[in-house]
Amino acid sequence: MPEFKTSPGTRDILAPHSARWRAFQDVFASTVESAGYSYIIPPMFEDLDVFLRLGEATEVVTKEMYDFHDKGGRHVALRPEQTASVCRAFVEHRPTTPWKVWYAGPNFRYEKPQQGRYRQFDQVGIEALGADDPLLDAEVIALAAKFYADLGLRKVHLSINTLGDAGDREKYSQALSQYFMANEKDLTTESRATLARNPLRVLDSKREPDQKVIAGAPAIREFISDVSNQHFDAVLQALDALNISYEINNRLVRGLDYYRRTTFEFTSIALEAAHTAIGGGGRYDGLVEALGGPATPGIGFALGLDRTLLACDAEKVFDAPATAVQVFVVDTVDGMHAHAVCHELRSNGLSADRAYDLRSMKAQMKSADRSGATLALIIGSDEVENSTIMLRPMGSGDQYLIARKDLVAEVKKALNPK
Ligand code: HAM
C-alpha cells in the first residue's frame, strides 16, 4: 500500500483518458468560439463573499464550500462553480455588452463522492451578459445541444422551465412553503429539513414517499407574470425554429438560487439515475447587481466533464484519441545517435521518442512496440559506420536502410507513402 493516495472525491487523470479530457475541451472551444464566445480564465479561489452571493439557501454554499483563511487573514473559498466568478469579473472589468465568454476547469464541492460525483470536478461552460433577448436563451441552449451532438451523443434529454422574475419566484416560493407545511407529515425527514431552508428544492426530491405530496404541489406557471410568460414562449418558439426537442418540466428548479426565468437541464438517458444530469443552466438576472454591478441580465450553462464522458462511455462514442508518437528511435551504440536523431525529427515537425539507459536491442524494440509508433529507426554499429539508419515500418515485417543525411525526407516519405 502506498503511503499517500488521492484525497476522497479527487482523482489522477492518466493517459489515455487525459488526452480525451483535452480533446473534450478542444471540441467545446471550437463549438462556442464559432458563436463568438471568448475564453476567460477566472481564478480558482475568490473572496468567500463572492460565492455567498449565490444565495444562502444554496447547499453548494451552505454545506459544500471549501473555504479557509489564508495567511493574510482573508476568508477565501475554492470556487464551487464559475458563474459567480464571471459576474464578479464583469463588475470588475466593465466590458462592453453583450459579453460572451466560455471557460473550462475544476470546481470544488464537499459532496459525498460516488461515481459521477466528485469533490474536484471539471466543467466547461458559457455565460452571456447584458442581453435580455429570448433568442439568446435559445442560442445558449442550442450551443449546449450542438456540443453534445458534436461529441456523438444521441441520448440526451433537455428539460426546460421558467421560474419567473424575482417577484414571481418569491410568490411561488411562499405558496409552496404553505402547501408543503400543510402536508409536512407526509414528507420525508430530509425534505422537511429542505423545506425550512428552501421550499423550491423540495420539488427536487427523488425520494419515493415525497412524490405524492410533490405531485399535488401548486405549479409555477400560475405565478408567472405575463412578461415572463411571453419571454418563455419566445424561447420555446426559438427552440422549435431550430428543431431542438425539449420537455417542459414545471418542477425543474435546479440547485443554485440565482436562477430567474429560463432554467434548463440536460440528462443522459444512457446513464443510471444517480448521475444523469450532465449539464444545466439558465438566466440569473440579478446576480451582477448582487455583486455590486449595474442591473445586467445574464444567461449561461455549465456541463460536467466527468459525467458527460460517462455518458459517452455508455453510448460508446468519443473515444480517447490516439496520442502515439510517429517515430521510435532505437540506438544500441551509445544513445547519442538517438539523441541527435530525435532532436532533428522534432525540429522538423515530427514526433519522436526513444529508449534511455542503453538497454538491450530486445528491450528497446519492446518499448518501440509499446509506444504505438508508426516507424522504428534502428541505429547499430554497422549503421553508424556506413552513415545509414535502418527504417522499420512497425508491424510490417519489412525494413530498409536509409542514408543518415536524408533522415527527415525519408521518414516523411515512409509516414505518407503515395
Ligand atoms: P450545476 O448544475 O451545479 O450548475 O452544475 C452543472 C453540471 O456540473 C452538472 O449538471 C453536473 O454535470 C456537473 N457537476 C456538478 N457537481 C458535480 C460533482 N460534484 N461531480 C461531478 N460533476 C458535477 C452550475 O454549476 C452553474 N454554474 C451552471 C450555470 C452556468 N448556470 C448558468 N450559467
Task: Express each pLDDT in 245-285 by its tens digit.
Answer: 999 998 888 878 889 999 999 999 999 876 689 999 999 99
Residue with cell 414571481: 168
Residue 143: pLDDT band by 50, 70, 90 thresholds?
Answer: very high
Task: Identify whether residues 310 and 343 lie together within a single domain.
Answer: no
CATH number at residue 339: 3.40.50.800
Q: Say if residue 278 is in the same domain as residue 348.
A: no
Does 34 map to a domain? yes
Burial of residue 372 (number of CB atoms within 10 Å: 0-12, 13-18, 19+):
middle
DSSP, collapsed to helix, strand or coil, labels residue 127 as strand
Give pLDDT tens digits for 60-94: 887 899 999 999 999 999 999 999 999 999 999 99
Does the Cβ of 298 fall within 6 Å of ligand 1?
A: no
Count of the separate structural domains present in the chain? 2
Closest by alpha carbon to 157, among 250, 242, 266?
266
- What pLDDT sits at residue 207? 85
Q: What is the pLDDT of residue 250?
A: 87
Domain assignment present for 201: no
Position with higher pLDDT, 210 vs 44: 44
Report the separation in Å between the CA atom of 8 and the middle of ligand 1, taken as the mean of its atom positions: 19
Instruction: Give yes or no: residues 45 and 152 share one domain.
Output: yes
The owner of cell 549503421 is 383
**Ligand 1: which residue has its CA nearest to atom 31?**
281
Q: Report helix, strand or coil for 101.
A: strand
Same domain membership, residue 46 and residue 92: yes
Please report the sign of the dihedral spanned by the C-alpha atoms of residue 246, residue 252, residue 255, residue 260. Answer: positive
Query: In a mutational test of the pocket of ligand 1, which residue from 123, 151, 267 has the highest number of ligand atoms less than 8 Å from its CB?
Result: 123
Q: In the predicted model, what is the mean pLDDT of residues 31-35?
A: 97
With the CA atoms of 335, 337, 340 and 343 taken in that order, what torsion angle do they form, in degrees rounded to the nearest 10? -70
Domain contains 241? yes
> In whole angstroms, what is the distance from residue 6 CA to residue 376 CA?
37
Q: What is the mean pLDDT of residues 116-142?
A: 97
If pLDDT is split at 50, 70 and 90, which confidence band does 312 have?
very high
Give the cell for residue 60: 453548494
pLDDT for 417 equals 84
Would the CB of 121 count as within 6 Å of ligand 1?
yes
d(CA 250, CA 253): 8
206-234: average pLDDT? 90
Which pLDDT value is given to residue 274?
A: 63
Specify the range with the lowest mean pLDDT, choosing from 161-165, 350-354, 405-409: 161-165
Name, in order, each residue with C-beta under 8 angstroms of 323's C-beta and a sequence gap of 6 or more. 15, 16, 19
Whether residue 118 has its Cβ less than 6 Å from ligand 1: yes
The pLDDT of residue 275 is 66
Kindly give the distance from the C-alpha atom of residue 45 to the centroid of ligand 1, in angstroms, as a whole number: 17
* pLDDT attached to residue 321: 84
SS3 assignment, position 255: coil
- Same structural domain, 110 and 39: yes
Q: Whose CA is nearest to atom 15 of ligand 1?
A: 304
pLDDT of residue 327: 98
Which atom of ligand 1 is closest in space to residue 308's alpha carbon?
12
Q: Nearest-CA neighbor of 24 among 119, 139, 123?
A: 123
Cβ of residue 260 lying under 6 Å from some atom of ligand 1: no
Domain boundary among 292, 315, 338: 315
The alpha carbon of residue 271 and the mean position of all alpha carbons in its chain are separated, in whole angstroms, by 17
**Ligand 1 pocket, residue 122 CB under 6 Å:** no
For the stretch 131-137, contacts whose Cβ atoms lie closer than 8 Å and that sit 24 or more positions apart, written own/partner, are: 131/97, 131/98, 131/297, 132/285, 132/297, 134/231, 134/232, 134/234, 134/235, 134/238, 134/262, 135/234, 135/238, 136/98, 136/299, 137/231, 137/235, 137/238, 137/261, 137/262, 137/283, 137/299
Q: Would residue 184 count as lying in a domain?
A: no
Query: Is there a single domain that holds both residue 123 and residue 238?
Result: yes
Q: In the block, which residue shows the cell 536509409?
A: 402
Identify the domain containing residue 386 by its residue range.
327-415
Is 59 part of a structural domain of the chain?
yes
In a domain, 205, yes or no: no
Q: Tell me, yes or no, whether 288 and 355 share the same domain.
A: no
Query: Are 370 and 307 in contact, with CB atoms under 8 Å apart?
Result: no
Q: How far is the CA of 304 from the centre of ligand 1 (A)?
A: 6
Indicate if the pLDDT at residue 393 is higher than 80: yes
CA of 123 to the centre of ligand 1 (A): 7
Measured from the CB, is residue 264 less than 6 Å from ligand 1?
Answer: no
Cis peptide before 16 (omega within 30 of 0): yes
> Given pLDDT bands bounded at 50, 70 and 90, which one contains residue 160?
very high
**Which residue, of 315, 347, 380, is where some domain finishes?**
315
273 and 304 together in one domain? yes
* Exposed/middle/buried for residue 204 (C-beta within 10 Å: 0-12, 13-18, 19+): middle
* 8 A C-beta contact, residue 308 and residue 278: yes
In this structure, is residue 63 part of a structural domain?
A: yes
Asked whether residue 55 carries a pLDDT value surpassing 90, the answer given is no
Q: What is the per-residue pLDDT for 169?
A: 83
The predicted-structure confidence for 169-198, as pLDDT tens digits, reads as follows: 888 889 989 999 999 999 999 889 888 888
Q: Which three cell numbers stand for residue 15?
A: 493517459
Strands 156-162 and 298-304: unpaired
Domain-terminating residue out of 315, 338, 354: 315
Over the Cα atoms of the chain, what is R_g? 28
Residue 215 lies in a domain: no
Same domain for 59 and 113: yes
Q: Which long-range contacts (CB under 8 A, 24 or more apart) does 176-185 make?
A: 176/200, 176/202, 176/203, 176/217, 176/218, 179/216, 179/217, 179/218, 180/213, 180/217, 183/213, 183/216
How far apart are the C-alpha atoms of 130 and 164, rounded to whole Å? 18
Q: What is the DSSP string of 33-70?
A: HTTT-EE----SEEEHHHHHTT-TT-HHHHTS--EEE-
β-bridge partners, 283: 260, 299
